[in-house]
Chains A and B, each alone.
Chain A
């Protein structure tokens, strides 16, 4: 198994004080916390930081870890010395709760092994099965029309021998019309099966919209980035614009500016009070690659007395 350099993970020297360890952990935990961070691999980084802190914050574990000496390098193949049979001396109390089950082989081998960590989930001893939560990514169009989706997710359930096992399940879910980002839908009684004859738990599916090339969603409102030709924006035009509900005819008023929002009332996500659809004008300039296009631009510059840098003092 790979040796873990916990001091390096926390950016510390081996003689760091308890306060330094705490400060460094807090700083890195904030940086990599999966609820806060947008860094790549935030979750993996956070686990490493948590694991390092779990060991270094505890004088007993830290001493045991320090005994391996300082010659090891992170990632080096590590075999624990034969006298490491006293693992039961390490007390439980994993501060990171349920997630400490995900610590590395290195950690498990030296400090784990008695399953105290793995079983430290919430509560216990309930008569119903666990409620399960999972995310489900859907297309924006699904929120307008409703749809059926097949989802696959992994659920922990109690096996015949009383130990938790990962169970891969596939369900066919009806996505109701009008769902919003972050909304939960709850197909009843699909959570973990209860140990014994208890009632099964509930399954909560949190809706997430897949990113779309030209729509984006804020609450019930949908934004459409609408490409417009310069003459359409200047002269006004009737154009056909896509919406998740099918194309609509849209009037672009004369002298529309780039970024102008054209509101289509009630064309957002359906609800009792439906959201709006905002078409955001995105003026696209044709490039002057042909002689004709070049001439048209030259004629335009002759005909229109226009200096976009006037407000900067340009003449």
Chain B
């Protein structure tokens, strides 16, 4: 069933999330998030006494969750894998640019 609706709104752009908002947004619990921070799987800035989670954190935590669940990677390995995947992506973009 297709339910078409068109809603216009303004974005809450360039937001940063608190720990509890972040947990809800990514369906993770706070202990896991703090563990990820310990292993620098994510590196949210710490501002005015609390963590502020940005888009990069959202992407990395979701990816980390899938890699942990499907491949059994531990937090230290997740940080390494995500860094390497980002590097690979950057190099692929550059290669694509030069090969056109």
Contacts of B7 in A (CB 8 A): 171-172, 190
Q: Is the CB of B11 within 8 A of A216?
A: no
Q: Is the CB of B97 within 8 A of A216?
A: yes
Measured in the bound complex, the distance between the Cα atoms of B68 and A304 in whole Å is: 62
Measured in the bound complex, the distance between the Cα atoms of B94 and A280 in whole Å is: 12
Contacts of A30 in B (CB 8 A): 71
Q: Is the CB of B4 within 8 A of A183?
A: no
Residue of A nearest to B17 (CB): A186
Q: Is the CB of A35 within 8 A of B55?
A: no
Q: Is the CB of B15 within 8 A of A186?
A: yes
Measured in the bound complex, the distance between the Cα atoms of B25 and A126 in whole Å is: 13
Q: Is the CB of A29 within 8 A of B70?
A: yes
Q: When each residue 87-100 of chain B gets 1 if its CB lies under 8 Å from chain A and 0 otherwise, what string results?
A: 00010111011001
Residue of B nearest to A209 (CB): B93
Interface of chain B residues 42 through 73 with chain A (CB within 8 A): 55-56, 58-59, 62-63, 66-67, 69-72
Our count of residue pairs bridging A and B at CB distance below 8 angstroms stands at 112
Q: Is the CB of A186 within 8 A of B12?
A: yes
Measured in the bound complex, the distance between the Cα atoms of B94 and A156 in whole Å is: 37
The segment from A162-170, A229-237, A289-297 found at the interface with B is A162-170
Q: Is the CB of B55 within 8 A of A202?
A: no
Within 8 Å by CB of B96, from A186, A187, A216, lies: A216
User: Given contacts A35-B66, A50-B70, A216-B93, is CB(A225)–CB(B5) below 8 Å?
Assistant: no
Within 8 Å by CB of A33, from B2, B56, B70, B92, lies: B70
Residue of B nearest to A157 (CB): B3
Q: Could you tell me the distance in whole angstroms from the C-beta of B75 to the nearest C-beta in chain A?
A: 16
A-B contact list, 30 entries, CB within 8 Å: A34-B66, A35-B66, A36-B85, A96-B69, A97-B69, A126-B24, A131-B24, A131-B25, A148-B8, A150-B6, A167-B3, A168-B1, A168-B2, A168-B4, A169-B4, A169-B5, A170-B5, A174-B11, A183-B14, A186-B13, A187-B9, A187-B11, A190-B9, A204-B25, A206-B58, A214-B100, A216-B96, A218-B93, A218-B94, A223-B97
List the interface of chain B (C-beta within 8 A of A): 1-15, 24-25, 27, 55-56, 58-59, 62-63, 66-67, 69-72, 81, 85, 90, 92-94, 96-97, 100
Apart from A133-B58, A133-B62, 9 more pairs, CB < 8 Å = A26-B72, A50-B70, A96-B70, A123-B27, A131-B27, A176-B14, A184-B55, A190-B7, A216-B96
List the interface of chain A (C-beta within 8 A of B): 26, 29-30, 33-36, 38, 46, 50, 95-97, 122-123, 126, 128, 131, 133, 148, 150, 165, 167-174, 176, 178-179, 182-188, 190, 201-202, 204, 206, 211, 213-214, 216-218, 223, 225, 280
